[in-house]
Homo-oligomer: A and B are copies of this chain.
């Protein structure tokens, strides 16, 4: 992922310097473990970069950058319990390394720690920061709930799917950007432009996740291709296929007792017949373009715009 080295070092250093109480170890060690991972630090990078290009001192946004990464990792801890996921970024998930109670309780503590980080710094901005943060958190939970609801539904529309990923994934990227804008003391119009950038970037990012799981290069993807298909995961591809496939081939294959390779091949054949791979690519291209276009009104220099262009470019060009 493209990201200026100094910002990556800055946020990693800030996260490594967090001083947790010594005791109880069972509460704080899982938090360190979770934040220690090889995460992309995408959200705090957006916070710092936005603050930077809008003329703010990145130190002024440091706590909010930590807070947004803390919040993101809290959602991962709890999502991994809900999904019964064993691995995260090449390590055992917290509930596997310790147990479920630990993942729940340490996750709760991370949410409160995130609130504490959000409330730090220039007091005149606290209200705006907390209003945005709490509203975003509620939307993320709503998105997670819709995602779980979709597991039991076969009539999810593409519009509903986009709204779900907007809530579950994209608004937190919008929030990350807007936090940087708030801490830079930016105008409402600038805050909103960056919020829109983050949301559109998040939509592009999630669609690329969906795309790679089916159309990625097995050599570089890092996971087995077709995992989403085997798990009947409601991705943009599957939902579009369910909506358009008049032969009901896909529907018949969901939950069916079929050899994995056969299931992947047959569903992929439907995707190809409906040209879904290319259409997914076109849609994420559109979102990436809309992300960058959202910043047009801000009047950034080409140099300042470069980070955000590269982020959008990378979201859709990445291979894993």
- Chain B residues near A119: list those with CB within 8 A: 127, 130-131, 134
| A87 interfacial by beta-carbon distance below 8 Å | no
Alpha-carbon distance A130/B130, docked complex (angstroms): 10
- Chain B residues near A149: list those with CB within 8 A: 24, 26
| A101 interfacial by beta-carbon distance below 8 Å | yes
- Residue contact A142 to B27, C-beta cutoff 8 Å: yes
| A116 interfacial by beta-carbon distance below 8 Å | yes
Alpha-carbon distance A61/B143, docked complex (angstroms): 32
| A193 interfacial by beta-carbon distance below 8 Å | no
- Residue contact B108 to A82, C-beta cutoff 8 Å: no
Chain A 134-174 interface mask (CB, 8 Å, partner B; 1/0): 10011001101110110000000000000000000000000
- Chain B residues near A137: list those with CB within 8 A: 108, 112
Tally of chain A residues near chain B (CB < 8 A): 36
- Chain B residues near A144: list those with CB within 8 A: 105
Query: Do A138 and B111 form a contact, CB below 8 Å, given A24-B145, A104-B81, A145-B26?
Result: no
Q: Which of B107, B130, B134, B141 contacts A27 (CB 8 A)?
A: B141
Q: Which of B26, B78, B123, B131 contacts A105 (CB 8 A)?
A: B78
- Residue contact A138 to B115, C-beta cutoff 8 Å: no
- Residue contact A78 to B115, C-beta cutoff 8 Å: no
- Residue contact B130 to A115, C-beta cutoff 8 Å: yes
Query: Do A141 and B109 form a contact, CB below 8 Å, given A115-B134, A126-B126?
Result: yes
Q: Which of B109, B111, B130 contacts A108 (CB 8 A)?
A: B111
- Chain B residues near A27: list those with CB within 8 A: 141-142, 145
Chain A 76-97 interface mask (CB, 8 Å, partner B; 1/0): 0010011000000000000000
- Residue contact B111 to A82, C-beta cutoff 8 Å: no
A–B Cβ pairs within 8 angstroms, 12 of them: A24-B142, A26-B145, A78-B104, A101-B148, A105-B144, A108-B111, A108-B137, A111-B112, A113-B138, A119-B127, A119-B130, A126-B127
